[in-house]
């Protein structure tokens, strides 16, 4: 994956053709142009292929055509639609609007999502554990927080083994680990749920790569979009195996420091 803005060193100087823009920004602009160009160049041939399939089906007599041929044509049409979906998703990924951070309370945003995504009547429950203080004030974009939290909860629900299960969502404040080179207090949203099998090193290493998925019928963009959303706000998102056959995903955002005497 491309390095994050924190990892990429700025490339600047009077002879720089980029005008001193950070290397990460130039890389992002290059990726955006590349993906947009590919989407433009491929969508026209895909449209032509879809039209050709319709003409072939009509020439074969439509519903009167042999069933095997109709199945083959339908399968080819489905693959064309999947290609279009992948291209649209790739363009949306690289053209993400910049976040609009503002002071917000993390608790009601997460609580609203938990209520919307919990369906105990269907055997898919989500339980929320609130912080002792009752609120967690962070500087963040509410839409970005919703996107990241929803992706993690939905991922945990889809990974539940069997027909019934429960996902736990925990909100808390925690000190930044010294090893991470961070300071101050951070808000943490942790999602934990049982799984049929551990992630393993390979899946854990690739979980946030765009288009990597272990689920049939999925594009594999949910976790990569979630991490991009959190990192754009100066936070961190991780996925790991936890104890007793569970998987834990969590993200952290810096808490807003309260003014003295407030």
Do 27 and 75 fall into the same domain?
Answer: yes
The CATH number covering residue 149 comes to 3.30.565.10
Do 162 and 108 fall into the same domain?
Answer: yes
pLDDT in tens, 205-247: 888 888 888 777 777 788 888 998 899 899 999 998 887 788 9
How many domains does the chain fold into?
2
Do 76 and 116 fall into the same domain?
Answer: no
Do 56 and 156 fall into the same domain?
Answer: no
Residue closest to 189 by CA, chosen among 223, 231, 237, 256: 237
Q: Which residue, of 41, 68, 94, is where some domain finishes? A: 94
Do 82 and 163 fall into the same domain?
Answer: no
Report in angstroms the alpha-carbon separations of 186 from 78, 137, 155, 173: 45, 10, 24, 6
User: Has residue 1 been placed in a domain?
Assistant: no
Do 209 and 110 fall into the same domain?
Answer: yes
Do 145 and 129 fall into the same domain?
Answer: yes
User: Has residue 260 been placed in a domain?
Assistant: no
* Domain region containing 86: 23-94
Do 90 and 106 fall into the same domain?
Answer: no
pLDDT for the residue numbered 5? 36
Do 125 and 242 fall into the same domain?
Answer: yes
* HEC sequence for the chain: CCCCCCCCCECCCCCCCCCCCEHHHHHHHHHHHHHHHHHHHHHHHHHHHHHHHHHHHHHCCHHHCCHHHHHHHHHHHHHHHHHHHHHHHHHHHHCCCCCCCEEEEHHHHHHHHHHHHCEHHHCEEEEEECCCCCCCEEEECHHHHHHHHHHHHHHHHHCCCCCCEEEEEEEEEEECCHHHCCCCEEEEEEEEEECCCCCHHHHHHHCCCCCCCCCCCCCCCHHHHHHHHHHCCCCEEEEEEECCCEEEEEEEEEECCCCCCC
User: Has residue 15 been placed in a domain?
Assistant: no
> pLDDT at residue 21 above 70?
no
pLDDT for the residue numbered 258? 60
pLDDT in tens, 134-169: 899 999 999 999 999 999 999 999 889 888 899 999
Do 129 and 155 fall into the same domain?
Answer: yes
User: Has residue 8 been placed in a domain?
Assistant: no
Do 47 and 90 fall into the same domain?
Answer: yes
Do 111 and 70 fall into the same domain?
Answer: no
> pLDDT at residue 261 above 60?
no
């Amino acid at each position: 994956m491309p390095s994050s803005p924190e990892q990429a060193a700025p490339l600047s100087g009077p002879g720089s053709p980029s005008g001193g823009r950070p290397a990460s920004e130039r890389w992002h602009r290059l990726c955006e142009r590349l993906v947009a160009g590919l989407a433009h160049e491929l969508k026209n041939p895909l449209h032509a292929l879809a039209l050709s399939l319709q003409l072939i089906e009509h020439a074969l007599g439509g519903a009167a055509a042999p069933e095997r041929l109709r199945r083959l044509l339908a399968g080819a049409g489905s693959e064309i639609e999947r290609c279009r979906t992948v291209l649209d998703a790739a363009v949306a990924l690289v053209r993400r609007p910049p976040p609009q951070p503002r002071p917000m309370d993390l608790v009601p945003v997460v609580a609203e999502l938990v209520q919307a995504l919990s369906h105990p009547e269907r055997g898919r429950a989500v339980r929320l554990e609130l912080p002792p203080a009752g609120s967690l004030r962070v500087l963040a974009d509410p839409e970005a927080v919703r996107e990241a939290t929803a992706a993690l909860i939905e991922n945990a629900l889809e990974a539940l083994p069997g027909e019934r299960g429960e996902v736990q969502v925990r909100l808390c404040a925690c000190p930044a680990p010294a090893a991470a080179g961070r300071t101050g207090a951070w808000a943490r949203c942790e999602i934990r749920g049982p799984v049929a099998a551990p992630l393993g090193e390979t899946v854990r290493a690739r979980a946030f790569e765009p288009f990597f998925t272990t689920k049939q019928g999925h594009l594999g963009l949910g976790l990569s979009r979630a991490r991009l959303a959190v990192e754009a706000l100066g936070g961190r998102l991780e996925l790991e195996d936890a104890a007793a056959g569970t998987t834990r995903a969590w993200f952290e955002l810096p808490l807003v420091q309260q003014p003295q005497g407030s």
